[in-house]
Amino acid sequence: MDEADLAQKREQDMIKAALLGREKSLQSSNGKCIWCKEEAIVVDTAFCSAECGDDYNKYQREMKQRLGKQYQ
């Protein structure tokens, strides 16, 4: 293993850690989708569907933008 391989491995580990951290913060406490709160979640996610995940992320972004403006 040379320097380039090591650098690549470090990068992969960092990406993996980032993804795991994000998933950990998004977990359903009751097995139901955290966005629509009606449907059962897909295993290892917090949402029942990709659409709910997209809507949730969109909502989070908008809230962040709104809050950001308030503090400016």
Interface residues toward Zn ion, by CB under 5 A: 33, 35-36, 39, 48, 52
Of 11 and 39, nearer to Zn ion (C-beta) is 39
- CA–CA distance, 72 with 60 (Å, rounded to integer): 19
**Residue 59 C-beta: closest distance to Zn ion, Å:** 12
Task: Give 57 or 65: the residue with its C-beta nearer to Zn ion.
Answer: 57
**Residue 67 to residue 72: CA distance in whole angstroms:** 9
For Zn ion, the closer of residues 15 and 50 by Cβ is 50
